[in-house]
Chains A and B, each alone.
Chain A
């Protein structure tokens, strides 16, 4: 099996996790930067629509590395789509497949269900709740919490920060509540 073939198949957690973890020392050593993604959203606000809000009054140009990093993630997505895509179908837990089919989500392929996140869904109530309201909560919540999965769960926990542990537990609690108690009603719409 050549290297490209190997890259194309889905990577197990014990390969992906450690590489993600290595982002922490890589950023520290190559640029003295702490790993974190959601701040990029704040820098976009500070750069584009600061509107005299104190929270956005800072020199965002000092943080431009973060925007480069985020743009790199986007490019990584394009590169994967072009060169490392594999044709195998995704493996999804049987219980989840059954649950989703109950909501009419039957086409399980790709990484994101087209029947929930396709352009045809943007105008539907379900689509608006998931993409518009969900996206809003991601931006609002991460900033309110002072970080996201990268800044708190990975960087913060790596540095043994108690506030990051509290934040991470809150992320997971919120996710469990939404996925198990609220999302079923949204998907049923």
Chain B
């Protein structure tokens, strides 16, 4: 029975919670501090490279600047090389676990949802990561945007079955 529950949970999470690879090793709660630190580094980079700038996003979508294409392109290049090396060298996590990356399957939601997110990205000038950085950086009205993004997520969950996928 326990197994059954775990499996259903995995199914639901793997629908699209990005992270489905579970750590079997139990780590104490304070270990989560490492994610806090990595997040802080990410936040600082997003701001100092002006990725959180509404202007940079507008320039990207108007092809007026190479900056954002450079950021995303070089991030993907470094990310892809890293993933290649991790797979090739069978690098394990610091807890000694094998790193297995889940394969994504196609559904039409990636197109419909992708277009809708693209609209929101150009309007707010921010994707989810930058929203949190903007708020921390002092743009207090962004609480409205973040609250609406949470509501948007909830509404999607509510009407998921009725939407074409």
Interface residues in chain A, defined as those with a beta carbon under 8 Å from any beta carbon in chain B:
7, 10-45, 49, 51, 53-59, 62-66, 68-81, 84, 90, 92-93, 95-96, 108, 111-113, 116-119, 121-122, 129-164, 166-180, 182-183, 186
Q: Which residues of A contact B12 (CB under 8 A)?
A: 54-55, 57-58
Residue pair B18, A135 in contact (C-beta under 8 Å)? no
Whether B79 lies near A21 (C-beta < 8 A) is yes
**In the complex, how many angstroms separate the beta carbon of A21 from the nearest chain B beta carbon?**
3
How far is A10 from B119 in the complex, measured between Cα atoms in Å? 27
Contact A95 B62 (CB under 8 A): yes
User: What 6 A-B pairs have minimum CB-CB distances, sorted nearest first?
Assistant: A174-B118, A72-B39, A77-B136, A76-B43, A170-B114, A144-B113
Choose among B21, B70, B105, B136 the residue that contacts A17 (Cβ–Cβ < 8 A). B70
In whole angstroms, what is the CA distance A117 to B163 when docked?
A: 31
A41, B123: Cβ atoms closer than 8 Å: no
Query: Which residue of A13, A49, A68 contacts B70 across the interface (Cβ within 8 Å)?
Result: A13
Residues of chain B within 8 A of A12, CB atoms compared? 49, 70
Interface residue tally of chain B, by bracket? Answer: 35 or more
Q: Are A130 and B136 touching (Cβ within 8 A)?
A: no
B9 cross-chain contacts in A, Cβ below 8 A? 58-59
Asked whether any CB of chain A lies closer than 8 Å to the CB of B141, the reply is yes
Chain B residues lying within 8 Å of A42, measured Cβ to Cβ, are 17, 153, 157
* B148-A21 in contact (CB<8A): no
**Apart from A55-B160, A65-B32, what 12 extra A-B contacts exist at CB < 8 Å?**
A11-B45, A29-B99, A32-B22, A36-B19, A49-B154, A55-B15, A75-B36, A96-B59, A134-B124, A137-B116, A150-B127, A171-B115
Contact B48 A142 (CB under 8 A): no
B148 to chain A, nearest CB (A): 3
A119 to B141, CA, bound (A): 6
* Given A77-B43, A80-B48, A175-B121, A20-B150 contact (CB < 8 Å): no
**B112 contacts across to A, CB distance below 8 A:** 144-145, 170
Tell me the minimal C-beta distance from B125 to chain A in angstroms: 7
- Chain A residues contacting B17 (CB-CB under 8 Å) are 39, 42-43, 58, 63
